[in-house]
């Protein structure tokens, strides 16, 4: 018995030392501690699997707001997820409401899309292509990088689920990874870190930097310059449904060797409110119009308001 207690004590000391070296100072449950016993690449494989499964679940829909800052200024928008895609309405610039003429132009554009099956179909196809590119990059994450545990951080508003610990994994390119297409080629010049929600096994943040120039198609299709950065983070919007809460991009380069690429934007998403699971695009446009009219009468302009649409 005495020897058994000594062995257990030695094991406890070794585990405690390991956690200290990793900077894992947050209090973890037994299940969360068990998670850290698996290789970080395997944890990423589990997380990516959950993200891919969530992407297939198109039932839950939300209305939310964004504030996007670019070289041109600040743009305020409202988004509503619909059956055929996302309906978006610009409601302000530099945190000030649009003029009545600008408001009408915004609504006329959305109405034309809602009333045109061809326009709506083209929008759907573009959305599918963008989603597929994102998913292909997501699928590549476990194999494209080498990961190592780098500590525990706390969740916060707009990052992970409130109260959940977030494990940090640093990543660098996997030298044995061969990108199957140009979509994944940029990963070979990227390093950074991810934050994983330990309880939900979801990706709370990915933060990457291009440490070298990345060519596409031997440089024929273009390149991204060294020093480019991006950050995407998400959080639990409620009832276990996660959504993107921030996207920051700073990328420069060239497309097809001729057109210069200069992306610099920071967009924050908040005020997520649940919508009906079955929401046609035309109905989403109608809801946006009602919200636009409310904002026009509200001197506070861009402040959040309760949603009148009920869940299903």
247-257 pLDDT, tens per residue?
Answer: 999 988 877 65
Angle between helices 117-144 and 40-56 (to 10 degrees): 170
Q: Which residues of the chain have pLDDT under 70?
A: 1-36, 216-221, 256-258, 299-312
CB atoms under 10 Å from CB of 125, counted, come to 11
DSSP assignment of the chain equals -HHHHHHHHHHHHHHHHHHHHHT--S---HHHHHHTTS-HHHHHHHHHHHHHHHHH----EEEEEEEEEETTEEEEEEEEEETTEEEEEEEEETTEEPPHHHHHHHHHHHHHHHT-HHHHHHHHHHHHHHHHHHHHHHHHHHHHEEEEEEEEEE-BTTBBSTT-EEEEEEEEE-TT---SSGGGGGGGGEEEEEEEETTTTEEEEEEEEE-S-EEETTTTSEEE-TT-EEEEEEEEEETTEEEEEEEEEEEEEEETTTEEEEEEEEEEEEEEEEE-SS--HHHHHHHHHHHHHHHHH-TT-S------SPP-
Structure tokens at 47: 């997380």
- The reported pLDDT for the residue numbered 216 is 65
Distances (CA, A) of 63 to 31, 78, 117, 237, 246: 34, 7, 23, 11, 15
Distances (CA, A) of 202 to 137, 222, 270: 16, 33, 19
- The reported pLDDT for the residue numbered 43 is 95
Structure tokens at 186: 């940029």
- The reported pLDDT for the residue numbered 221 is 59
- The reported pLDDT for the residue numbered 217 is 56
66-114 pLDDT, tens per residue?
Answer: 999 998 899 999 999 998 889 999 999 888 888 889 989 999 999 999 9
- pTM of the entire predicted model: 0.79
């Amino acid at each position: 018995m005495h020897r058994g207690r000594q062995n257990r004590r030695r094991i406890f000391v070794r585990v405690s030392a390991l956690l200290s070296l990793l900077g894992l100072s947050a209090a973890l449950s037994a299940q969360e501690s068990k998670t850290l016993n698996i290789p970080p690449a395997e944890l990423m494989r589990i997380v990516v699997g959950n993200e891919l499964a969530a992407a297939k679940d198109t039932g839950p829909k939300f209305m939310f707001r964004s504030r996007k800052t670019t070289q041109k200024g600040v743009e305020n928008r409202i988004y509503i997820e619909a059956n055929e895609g996302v309906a978006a309405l610009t409601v302000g610039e530099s945190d000030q409401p649009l003029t009545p003429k600008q408001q009408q132009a915004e609504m006329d554009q959305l109405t034309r899309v809602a009333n045109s099956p061809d326009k709506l179909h083209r929008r759907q196809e573009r959305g599918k292509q963008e989603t597929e590119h994102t998913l292909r990059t997501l699928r590549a994450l476990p194999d494209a990088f080498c990961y190592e545990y780098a500590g525990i951080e706390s969740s916060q508003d707009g990052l992970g689920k409130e109260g959940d610990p977030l494990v940090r994994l640093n990543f660098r390119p996997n030298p044995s990874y061969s990108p199957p297409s140009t979509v994944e080629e940029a990963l070979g010049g990227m390093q950074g870190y991810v934050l994983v929600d330990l309880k939900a096994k979801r990706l709370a943040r990915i933060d990457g930097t291009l440490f070298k120039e990345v060519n596409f198609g031997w440089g024929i299709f273009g390149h991204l310059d060294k020093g480019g950065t991006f950050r995407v983070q998400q959080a639990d919007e409620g009832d276990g449904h996660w959504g993107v809460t921030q996207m920051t991009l700073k990328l420069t380069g060239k497309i097809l060797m001729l057109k210069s690429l200069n992306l610099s934007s920071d967009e924050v998403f908040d005020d997520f409110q649940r919508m009906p699971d079955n929401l046609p695009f035309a109905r989403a446009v109608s809801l946006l119009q009602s919200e636009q009219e409310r904002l026009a009468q509200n001197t506070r302009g861009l402040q959040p308001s309760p949603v009148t649409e009920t869940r299903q």
